[in-house]
């Protein structure tokens, strides 16, 4: 199990936070995602044998979210 931390640029409003949270729960291999709405930080816990980090990042960015 691996954990990676990112910051989300331009994330505003409860709707966007919920949208991102829902997106992450639908990605196979992602076990858990914690979003800190104050700091715009996201911690993703995932199974490396099921998904690579670059694929998680690509999925997030393909939905219009920008990672730092």
pLDDT tens for each residue of 12-56:
778 888 888 899 989 999 999 998 888 889 999 999 999 999 999
Domain with 47 in it: 2-67
pLDDT for the residue 29? 96
CATH number of the domain where residue 39 is located: 3.30.70.100
Domain total for the chain? 1
pTM: 0.85
Rounded CA gap, 51 and 28, in Å? 7
Three-state secondary structure string covering the chain: CEEEEEEEECCCHHHHHHHHHHHHHCCCCEEEEEEECCCCEEEEEECCCCCCHHHHHHHHHHCCCEEC
């Amino acid at each position: 199990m691996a954990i990676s931390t990112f910051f989300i640029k331009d994330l505003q409003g409860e709707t966007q936070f919920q949208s991102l949270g829902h997106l992450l729960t639908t990605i196979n291999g992602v076990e858990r995602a914690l979003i800190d709405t104050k700091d715009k930080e996201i911690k993703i816990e995932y199974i490396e044998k099921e998904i690579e980090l670059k694929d998680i990042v690509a999925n997030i960015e393909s939905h219009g979210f920008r990672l730092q």
